[in-house]
Amino acid sequence: MARLDAAVSLFWVLLGIVLCRESVALGLADASGPGSGLFPFLAGLLMLGGGAGLLVRHVLTRGGHAPGEEIVPQFWPAPGAAFRVGALVVVVAGMILAVPYLGFALTGVFGLPILFRVIAPEASWWTAIAVGGIAAACIHLLFAVALGTPLPRGPLGF
């Protein structure tokens, strides 16, 4: 984890440099006063300084961390964690892609059972479909019916 932490610190340094350069290009000040780039420049400096500080600390303490800093000992804490997280992200991305075509309600009806099975593989598909359908219906009723939020509709009209 210490190497990953150092790599992320380096990323902040690089991002800070890019942000400062882009901010200078926007203009830090002109005749009328501070320019559009001043504030993001300061934000970039903060990231650059923080990242550099972390890198220095990493070198000086040989990968040690600050008191109270809660870095997980292992990136994947349990067997199957990578699969569950990866699958959840992929399913949610799929649901986002499906929303314009199916609407939120149908996307939920199809997507939630898959999510349910990802999190609880021991549950049956029938349970997953029932839970997904009920949850999708409840959320549709809350937002689309009770609160009147205009949501994308699917081929079935909801």
Partner 1 sequence: MDPVAGLLAGFGVILTWQNIQFIFIGSLIGTLIGVLPGIGPLAALSLLLPATVALPPVGAVAMLCAIFYGSMYGGSITSVLVNIPGEAASVVTCLDGYAMAKQGRAGAALGMAALGSFIAGTLGIVVLSVAAPALGAFAIRLGPPEYTALMALGLACTILMIQGSALKGAIMIGAGAALAAIGMDIITGEFRFNYGSIQLSAGIELLAVVIGLFGVSEILLNVENAARGMAVKARLSGLWPSRVDWAASWAPILRGSGLGFAVGLLPGGGPVTASFLSYAAERRIGKDPHTFGKGRIEGVAGPEAANNAAVSSGMIPLLALGIPGNAVTALLMGALIINGVQPGPTMMTDRADVFWGVVASLYIGNVFLLILNLPMVGLWVQLLRVPYSVLFPSIVLLAMVGTYSANRNLFDLWVMLGFGVLGWFLRKLGYELAPLVLAFVLAPLLEQSLRQSMVMSPDGAMIFLERPLAALMLGAAVLMLLLVAFKGLTVRKLGGTT
Options 57, 110, 133, 153; binder of partner 1; rule CB under 8 A: 57
What is the C-alpha separation between 56 and 24, in angstroms, rounded?
26
CA dihedral 135, 141, 142, 147 (to 10 degrees): 160
Q: Which is nearer to partner 1, 59 or 92 (CB)?
A: 92
What is the C-alpha separation between 69 and 54, in angstroms, rounded?
12
Least gap, CB of 156 to partner 1 (angstroms): 17
Residues 30 to 49 in contact with partner 1, rule: CB under 8 A: 32-40, 42-47, 49
Q: Which is nearer to partner 1, 95 or 154 (CB)?
A: 95
Least gap, CB of 124 to partner 1 (angstroms): 12
Q: Which is nearer to partner 1, 80 or 156 (CB)?
A: 80
Least gap, CB of 107 to partner 1 (angstroms): 8
| Contact mark string toward partner 1, 59..98, x via CB under 8 A | ------xxxxxxxx--xxxx-xx--xx--xx--xx-xx--
Helix (H) or strand (E) holding 30: strand 29-30
What is the C-alpha separation between 108 and 99, in angstroms, rounded?
9
Least gap, CB of 56 to partner 1 (angstroms): 9
Least gap, CB of 40 to partner 1 (angstroms): 4
H helices present in the chain, as ranges = 2-26, 38-60, 81-119, 125-140
C-alpha angle 124-129-132 in degrees, rounded to nearest 5: 120
What is the C-alpha separation between 68 and 151, in angstroms, rounded?
44
Kindly state whether residue 102 participates in binding partner 1, applying the rule CB under 8 A.
Answer: no
Residues 130 to 149 in contact with partner 1, rule: CB under 8 A: 131-132, 135-136, 138-139, 142-143, 147-149
